Amino acid sequence: MRGIRPETVWGTLFFMAVLTAHPGISPAQNVENVDLTFIVASNEGTANTVANPKYNEQLKKMFSYSSYVQSGEVKDTVEFNKPKTVAVPGDYELELTLKNCEEGRCIMRAVIRKGGKDYVDTIISLMKPGVFLLGGPRADMRDLIIVIEMGF
Amino acid sequence: MENENQPVSKLYKEMMTRDLREVDLAEEKRLFIARHFEEAPAFVFRPELLVPAGAFAFCALLLMRVWPLSAPLPAAPEQTARVAAEQASAAAPAAEAVPAEDPMAHRVSVERVSSDTGIPVVFQKTIDNSPVTIIWVIPRTDIVQGG
């Protein structure tokens, strides 16, 4: 039986080095923290129960509703290519999938579903830490706003 | 007697040394092996296969770095986007678009958005020097009622 040639060893090492150097499959970037805040907005009354005071002011500057009621908060993690499903007020479900993370920028897919239909299906490229809002689903004749924070 | 044999012995030794040189022996060995033994089965991790495979993988990954998966997808038709933006301003009057040249506006970018139930609208508003990206879906029922 012939021995393994040095070229074979170097070629294999080179191939492995190239594969492990690819940032998209680095194990250190497989999990990201995600904070979700569910807010029901309406023009009925002037109630404001959003727990995070930072959001209180920002929501008033962004929208023109008179009432913002926080209906839930979820702190969770999303894993690379593993869809994470979270129940959302109004019988919706939110599915988050981390697609890629490279140099502080993450690509994530967010889908809001109800009754087999995609209320919204989007792919976001986000520089950590970052925030974006998904809005519009109706919950008891009010508008639902989902604040998605990532990398905090 | 020993003295008489010495030249013969020396001559014989020289002859053997000349005839059984290492180069000839190696060639003889190679021919002998080729004649009496089968060729070893091909090994998949041969350098002549590994080097092109490695080069191909390197080029492919290099291209992925130049054109990463995060490259923006083709935008929606301009007409649809304009109509959607007008409808968004009606639905959320306080929202204002951020100028495209704002470098902070690239902190969050929407690469794709679609909806089965309405028209998705994307807009950004800068609050306290930080842009906030909002994706809002206007239900079709609202559009029919409004229009």
**pLDDT over 70 percentage in chain A:** 84
User: Are B55 and B110 members of one domain?
Assistant: no
Computed over every residue of chain A, the mean pLDDT equals 83
Residue A36's pLDDT is what? 93
The structure's pTM equals 0.56
Which of A22-36, A100-114, B4-18, B132-146 shows the lowest per-residue confidence on average (mean pLDDT)?
A22-36
Residue A138 lies in a domain: yes
**Which residues lie below 8 Å from residue B88, measured CB to CB, with a gap of 6+?**
B95, B121, B123, B136, B138
Amino acid, res. B71: A
Residues of B with CB below 8 A from A100's CB?
Answer: 68-70
Give CA–CA dist B57/B51, Å, rounded: 10
pLDDT number for residue A96: 93
Cβ pair B132:A100 closer than 8 A: no
Task: Say which residue, A76 or A16, is predicted with more confidence.
Answer: A76
Same domain, B82 and B136: yes
Reported confidence tier of residue A111, pLDDT bands at 50, 70, 90? very high
Per-window interface: B 110-139 vs A, CB < 8 A: 110-118, 120, 125, 127-128, 132-139
Give pLDDT < 50 ranges for chain B: 74-82, 85, 89, 91-105, 147
Would B110 be classed as within a structural domain?
yes
Task: Establish whether the linkage from the previous residue to B68 is cis, with ω within 30° of 0.
Answer: no
B87 shares a domain with B31: no
What is the percent of chain A with per-residue pLDDT over 90, rounded to a whole number? 31
Assess whether B62 and B83 both reside in one domain: no
Residue B105 lies in a domain: yes
Instruction: Label residue A108 by pLDDT band (50, 70, 90).
Output: very high
**Distance of residue A136 Cα from the nearest chain B Cα, in angstroms:** 5
Residues of A within an 8 Å Cβ radius of B? 1-2, 5, 7-8, 11-12, 14-15, 18-19, 21-22, 24, 58, 61-64, 99-100, 102, 105, 107, 117-127, 130-138
Domain boundary among B32, B66, B100: B66
Same domain, yes or no: B60 and B85: no
B101 and B137 inside one domain = yes
Say if residue B93 is in the same domain as residue B136: yes
- Asked if residues A97 and A83 have their Cβ atoms less than 8 Å apart, the reply is yes
The number of folded domains in chain A is 1
B143 touches chain A (CB under 8 A): no
- Comparing A18-22, A103-107, A108-112, A124-128, the range with the smallest average pLDDT is A18-22
One domain for residues B56 and B84: no
CA distance B19 to B27: 13
Interface test with A, best of B66, B70, B102, B129 (most A CBs within 10 A): B70
Residue A5 inside a domain? The answer is no
For residue B8, the enclosing domain spans 2-66
Distance of CA B40 to the CA centre of its chain: 34
Contacts of A118 in chain B (CB under 8 A): 114-117
What is the extent of the structural domain holding A85?
Answer: 28-150
Name the minimum distance, in Å, from the CA of A82 to any CA of chain B.
Answer: 17
The H-or-E segment that residue A68 falls in is strand A67-79
Q: Flag whether A21 is in a domain.
A: no
Structural domain contains residue B71: no
> Domain for residue B43, yes or no?
yes
Domain stop point among B44, B66, B88: B66
Q: Classify residue A140: in a domain, yes or no.
A: yes
* Tally of domains within chain B: 2
What is residue B28's predicted lDDT score, i.e. its pLDDT? Answer: 84
Say what the pLDDT of residue B54 is: 85
